[in-house]
Amino acid sequence: MRIFIYLILATACLAGCTASSDKEKAKDTEKPVETTDTTAVLIMQLQRCSKLYTAEYDIHKIITHSDEKRLKGKLLNHEFDVKMPLGDRKIAIPILVKLKAYIDFANFSKEDIRQEGDKIEILLPDPQVAVTSSSVDHEEIREYVDITRSRFSDAELSDYERQGREAVIKAIPETGIFSTARDNAAQLIIPMIVKMGYDEKNITVTFRKDHQWKVLSTKD
């Protein structure tokens, strides 16, 4: 009977030690939970984008130019300005200017992110626009030259193209490309933030009130 009791006690002690050992092993294998800095991750991902292209416009413009030969002078104290016959020269030049709008994240930093509880606000840099190319549709050029006039030279055509390109650049704010670039940027960035655990309704993407839009004449 004593031997039987001793066996029971020994088994209980062994089971207790085994359970204790298992708990210790479980503690040893448990790893501390690593908290991810979502702000740092977001900054890294956006900076990795460098230039986030969000809009592309093809602008078609027809440049027109006309000149005529006129005879000007003074006769018997009277000035005269007479159009010469067969002296007209006209031209219409269609050009295509390609614009690309993008957000430059080179200087994006923690100061551009505001967090309050489960809400987050992203202050994005102002959109920039690059004129990536401009070309003349030579097949669609329409030219009218009277027999007494010479045709337009290559130098004149190049100058008219330059003038047309400058006119397109000047009118860029009126095209709406900046607004499109901002809207598309928000639509691209919000899903990135949602993947980090934020609810879409708690995400706000804003731009500076004092817009500093830039137009660059570069080719990618």
At 208 the pLDDT is: 78
Between the alpha carbon of residue 81 and those of residues 70, 78, 87, 146, the distances in Å are 7, 10, 14, 20
Between the alpha carbon of residue 101 and those of residues 117, 128, 180, 211, the distances in Å are 33, 6, 9, 14
At 26 the pLDDT is: 44
Higher pLDDT, 89 or 216: 89
Residue 39 pLDDT grade (very low, low, confident, very high; cuts 50, 70, 90):
confident
- Output the six-digit token pair for 118: 């489960």
Sign, CA dihedral 174-178-181-183, equals negative
Residue type, 54: T
Higher pLDDT, 85 or 99: 99
73-84 pLDDT, tens digit per residue, is 666 677 756 566
115-148 pLDDT, tens digit per residue, is 888 899 999 888 999 999 888 888 899 988 888 7
At 6 the pLDDT is: 37
At 201 the pLDDT is: 93
At 181 the pLDDT is: 92
At 199 the pLDDT is: 92
At 202 the pLDDT is: 92
- Output the six-digit token pair for 59: 């602008």
Q: What value, to the nearest 5°, has the Cα angle with vertex 36 and ends 32 and 38? A: 165
Residue 11 falls in which region: left (phi positive, over 0), alpha (psi -120 to 50) or beta: alpha
In whole angstroms, what is the distance from residue 132 CA to residue 97 CA?
8
Residue 79 falls in which region: left (phi positive, over 0), alpha (psi -120 to 50) or beta: beta
User: Does the pLDDT value for residue 206 go beyond 80?
Assistant: yes
